Amino acid sequence: MSRDGSERGGTDDWEEEVAEWDEEVSEWEEGDGATADGDDHVDDDPDLDPDSADRVPKVVSAGHINWDVTIHVEQLPEPDGETRIDLLEQSGGGSAANVAVGLVGLGGQSVVYGSVGGDESGALALRELASAGVDPGQVLVDADAPTSVKYAIVDGSGELLMLANDGANESFTAAELDRDTLAAADHLHLTGQQPGTAAALATAAAEAGTTRSFDPGRRLGDREFEAALHATDLLFLNAPEADALADSTDIDPWEPDDRVVAIKLGEEGATIRTPRGDVSHPGFDIDAVDTVGAGDAFAAGFLGAALRDPDITGDGFSNDPRDYQVPLLVGNACGAIATETVTARADLSWDRVRSMMGESPESDLLIEVRV
């Protein structure tokens, strides 16, 4: 389909459509796109000052805040076996925290909401968030529980084994979040947490007129998230999660009828499904080092681009798949950056996004839109 909805008549129409898309990407890369308020242009330097609240989206990211220990080995050991550690890194982690940091790196404002323990790991996690420019003022400190520590063991092929304790990362409830903070936000992004908490936060955001997204994560099949899922405008899932959701609920992520669904396809990129069609991109050809946190980076990139565009979020999330071409490219670029990063906390910036896109100059031609 062409941008005006008519069918393409031949090669000339296709070349004209590609030229239009090239012009859109060029304008976006030069910082000439409108911000969420529609009044100003994005600064030529995409790493905007966090104090410029009137020029950038403000997002509350709610869910897990962890301390991560990432261990790289050549090969995972057999039972009773032993292997040598090639690299060990410690950093902040947790999906809510990762997305919050990624959004700040892309010029947004982030408030993270979750809980940590009253221990050294919790203090380190909060200090790292603050250093990254994220507002951790809403984080609950549970003095009676340890901070959740996740051990990610990654082998030479990028495959991983996760070890974790729940600790304090689900001590928070919806009641502790300041409602003025939620009302002042442009968007609420939910990640894995107690189903009742997710549903209550999504409901409160809806009442405040704030758009909502949800990335339930790998425990989707084990938890009763249906109320939270129905209360959100945008879902982030991987392909197995999308299949599981279609099998177990009345929501079909592959053919949604009342929401937008971003489905991450790993090495094959991602597809954005809407009630009016879909848009897909095969991703970027990179050598994966560590896939931990790639989904969080994708969400940060997608939201960081989409929330700036009033055509996408001016009245809830648009159902036109053509509107999601730039957010999809940015999300895939951020996911690729994360897979080249040793830890789950990728250092995202518009410069790095542009650099990743530059490694795949044909990326605009590979966009597939089905309306």
Residues designated catalytic: 296
E strands within the chain? 58-62, 66-73, 85-93, 109-113, 115-117, 140-142, 149-154, 160-164, 187-191, 211-215, 234-238, 260-264, 270-274, 277-281, 368-370
Reading the block at residue 76, the tokens are: 């995972």
d(CA 367, CA 119): 47
Reading the block at residue 54, the tokens are: 């009137």
What lies within 8 Å, CB to CB, of 209 at 6+ separation is: none
If one counts every other C-beta atom within 10 angstroms of the C-beta of residue 4, the result is 6
d(CA 326, CA 309): 10
What lies within 8 Å, CB to CB, of 201 at 6+ separation is: 62, 113, 174, 177, 182, 188, 190
Task: Evaluate whether 209 touches 188 at the Cβ level (below 8 Å).
Answer: no
Task: Evaluate whether 138 touches 166 at the Cβ level (below 8 Å).
Answer: no
CA distances from residue 26 to 22, 96, 220, 321, 348 in whole angstroms, order as listed: 6, 31, 38, 20, 20
